[in-house]
Every structure is written in structure tokens, then in C-alpha cells.
Amino acid sequence: QQQVKQSPQSLIVQKGGISIINCAYENTAFDYFPWYQQFPGKGPALLIAIRPDVSEKKEGRFTISFNKSAKQFSLHIMDSQPGDSATYFCAARDYGQNFVFGPGTRLSVLP
Amino acid sequence: DGGITQSPKYLFRKEGQNVTLSCEQNLNHDAMYWYRQDPGQGLRLIYYSQIVNDFQKGDIAEGYSVSREKKESFPLTVTSAQKNPTAFYLCASTFPSRGTGELFFGEGSRLTVL
């Protein structure tokens, strides 16, 4: 079964700090790596995504770093804010258009 | 506005009853998915459908059934055979072969078995 591993399970960061969430995968047939943000009681929403031919993508305070050879990718949230407190999921899509999700990281940003 | 609508938002079921969760999208997406979310386990795929009148089992299909008679609709039935149905259920859709491939989610349906 395809897997995406994600760590840490939970993360507490001070306001203004950097939040870092790491993911790793095994299947080389993945072609798209999105990150989703989910607030309690809501559906996940796409935050940022990257394709394997790119090593880094930045959108505002959010950056994905992608290491194809190590099969790892990470989300960095700069200048973390209390409004960023949510659960974050990394995911990977295979060529069959199916998505595999990591178990999630619960981020708490303290004011 | 375009989007995915799931209903009901909350549902209570007695043991032994079948329940059906509705999922409707007006995004003209071809592919639709059902996921189950439990605390600490991420999203697990129940069923998916790439086109009308066709669907495939996901990783945890046992005790669930779906239909895809219309492009816009992908209802999920939680049958009495599902041993532990209490969970948060998420419907999603995407264009498989166009655009960024972004997966759009509904707001979810929370099912509680009494």
C-alpha cells in the first residue's frame, strides 16, 4: 500500500516563528505534491503544491521544499500567526489520479 | 458560486441502519472521491469515480457503497455492515487530466452511531 509519512504529529510555535512540517514518500510514481490546510469542522483546502521537477515553491509566507532524490518534501510557514493554527496534511498524487495523504500535523501558534 | 455541497452536516444513526450521505458538485469535475477521516489517521480513500457509471474501491471500501448516475452527484451509503461507521466523511472532486489537478473538498458530514 502506498504511504506518505508525516512529522511531527503536533507542533507548537510562538507567533512570528517558523513552522516546519516534513513528509516522506516511497512510491516514485507520484507526480504532484499538495499541502492542505484544515480548520476544525471544515473540509481541507489547498494551501500550496509542487511538482517533482521543481525544488522549491514559495507563495507568501508558505514555502515547499522538495528533495526528489531523498523522496522528501517539507512545508515551511514563515512568521507564523495564530490564524495559521490548523491541521496540515501533505499528500501525493499518483499517475492514476489517486491521492495519498499523510496523517496530518496539528499546528498551534501561540499569541 | 461553484463548489461541493455535502449533506447532511451532522447525522445520527442507530446500529443496523443504512444511511446515505449526499455529495453534489457544480464544478463540472470528472472525478469524485469519498474519504473517511478519523483523528490521527489522515484521510483514507473509500471509493472514487473517474467518470459517470464507473467507480472503484479505495483502501477501506468494506461496508460502503456508492453510485455515479450523474456527473454532478456521488452519494455514499454507509451500510450496517460497516463495523465502526462513526467518523467525519469528506467528498472531493477534481479534473483528472486538466489544470493543476487540485482536489476540492466539501465541508464534510459527521456521522455518529448511537
The pLDDT of A79-84, averaged and rounded, is: 97
Q: Which residue has the higher pLDDT, A73 or A30?
A: A73
Q: Which residues of B touch A (CB under 8 A)?
A: 4, 6, 31, 33, 35, 40-45, 48, 50, 58-59, 90, 92, 94, 96-97, 100-108, 110
Per-residue model confidence (pLDDT) at position A83: 97
Which residues from chain B sit within 8 angstroms of residue A87, using beta carbons? Answer: none
> In the prediction, which pLDDT does A25 show?
95
Residue B45 has its nearest CB partner, among A44, A45, A98, at A98
Q: With DSSP H G I counted as helix, E B as strand and the rest as coil, what are the percentages for chain A, rounded to 5?
A: 5, 60, 40
Give chain B's count of helices (H) and strands (E).
0, 11
Would you state the pLDDT for residue B96?
67
In the predicted model, what is the mean pLDDT of residues A84-99? 90
Low-confidence ranges of chain B (pLDDT < 50): none
Using a CB-CB cut-off of 8 Å, the residues of chain B touching A97 are 31, 50, 94, 96-97, 101
Nearest to B40 among A49, A93, A103 (CB): A103
The pLDDT of residue B95 is 80
pLDDT, position A1: 59
Alpha-carbon distances of A108 from A88, B57, B71, rounded to whole Å: 11, 35, 39
Q: Is the peptide bond before B96 cis (omega within 30 degrees of 0)?
A: no
Residue B102: predicted pLDDT: 84
Contacts of A42 in chain B (CB under 8 A): 107-108
Give the rounded percent of residues in chain A with a pLDDT score beyond 70.
98
pLDDT at site A2? 66
For residue A96, is pLDDT > 90? no
Could you read off the pLDDT of A21-38 as tens digits, one per residue?
Answer: 999 998 778 889 999 999
Distance CA A100, CA A3 (A): 7
Amino acid at B42: G
Give percent above pLDDT 90 in chain A. Answer: 79
